């Protein structure tokens, strides 16, 4: 009861039993777009993920494996990651569901993008449910990545989700090292930066703020700078006036991407307050 396992199980049972998603609508969408347009293919995958979120109903993906596997590169990442939306909270079966995408067994073609999406999906399923087991799983993910950018991207996002708002030094340090050690990779750095913000959500950690601002100033990659800006916003979630100094500093930046992050910081710091200052 105290660990939340009973609540999670009953919640999943209720949502699965009361799922009224119109699967025919998703099927009609798939039939109407064909295989030629990758953007529409990806949108249909997300349509299915959103409409079946939390229900564990992944029938559309299982029944259309050949169509789903026609996705390439990052669309394949998204298709696999959508399983995480559908099975959110289904922690006991997470590895069983995602193992084919890690191993490339059966009808699932081996692809670093599928593997990356599976790590992200595992993070979504276990979001905000930190455990030593989950931490070790992602540490193994880094070690087994073969330095592949896409895989490390998925591992970093998943680790950030699992460690969300824990303010755990070990998790933050791992993500920070991943960012700093891959300064030339926008793909890895972007995900690691988002992960750092997720782990320290609402902490207002001054040392981390200094590190993020410094790295953003030194980085040449817009994706990394943007991710750090939004992560700074997450750090200031609910901090209200305590965030004012950082907000002013970010608003005064010569980098438009940092100023972009400043807007998120205002929103996060004053979320739900109806603050006249923030408005």
Domain ranges of the chain: 1-125, 126-279
Predicted confidence at residue 106, as pLDDT, reads 53
Could you identify the residue written with the tokens 């890895």? 188
Residues of the chain with pLDDT under 70: 104-109
Predicted confidence at residue 103, as pLDDT, reads 77
Short-list 197, 124, 137, 136, CA closest to 167: 197
* DSSP letter string, 195-220: HHHHHTTT---HHHHHHHHHHHHH--
Predicted confidence at residue 104, as pLDDT, reads 67
Coil vs helix vs strand at 239: coil
pTM above 0.95, yes or no: no
Rounded CA separation 237/258 (Å): 17
Predicted confidence at residue 146, as pLDDT, reads 87
> Residue length, the chain?
279
Structure tokens at 237: 């979630």
Pick the CATH number of 126-279 from 3.30.70.1450, 2.60.40.420, 1.25.10.10, 3.90.1200.10: 1.25.10.10
The backbone torsions φ and ψ at residue 238, rounded to the nearest 5 degrees and listed phi first, read 75, 5
Rounded CA separation 17/4 (Å): 20
Predicted confidence at residue 115, as pLDDT, reads 95
Q: How far is CA 95 from CA 16, 64, 127, 154, 219, in A?
A: 20, 21, 14, 15, 36
């Amino acid at each position: 009861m105290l660990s939340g396992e009973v609540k999670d199980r009953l919640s999943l049972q209720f949502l699965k039993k009361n799922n009224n998603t119109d699967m025919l609508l998703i099927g009609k969408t798939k039939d109407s777009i064909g295989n030629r347009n990758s953007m529409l293919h990806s949108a249909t995958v997300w349509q299915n993920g959103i409409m079946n979120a939390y229900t564990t109903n992944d029938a559309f993906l299982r029944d259309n494996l050949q169509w789903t596997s026609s996705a390439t590169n990052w669309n394949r990442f998204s298709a696999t990651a959508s399983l995480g939306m559908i099975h959110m909270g289904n922690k006991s079966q997470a590895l069983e569901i995602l193992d084919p995408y890690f191993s490339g067994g059966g009808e699932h073609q081996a692809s670093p993008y599928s593997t990356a999406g599976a790590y992200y999906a595992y993070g979504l399923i276990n979001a905000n449910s930190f455990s030593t087991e989950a931490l070790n799983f992602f540490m193994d993910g880094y070690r087994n990545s073969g330095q592949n950018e896409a895989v490390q991207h998925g591992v970093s996002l998943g680790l950030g989700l699992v460690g969300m708002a824990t303010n755990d030094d070990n998790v933050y340090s791992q993500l920070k090292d991943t960012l700093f050690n891959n300064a030339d990779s926008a793909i890895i750095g972007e995900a690691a930066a988002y992960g750092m913000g997720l782990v320290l959500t609402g902490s207002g950690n001054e040392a981390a703020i200094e590190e993020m601002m410094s790295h953003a100033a030194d980085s040449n990659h817009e994706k990394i700078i943007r991710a750090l800006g939004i992560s700074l916003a997450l750090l200031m979630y609910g901090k209200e006036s305590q965030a004012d100094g950082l907000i002013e500093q970010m608003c005064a930046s010569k980098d438009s991407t940092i100023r972009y992050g400043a807007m998120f910081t205002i929103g996060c710091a004053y979320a739900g307050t109806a603050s006249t200052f923030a408005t």
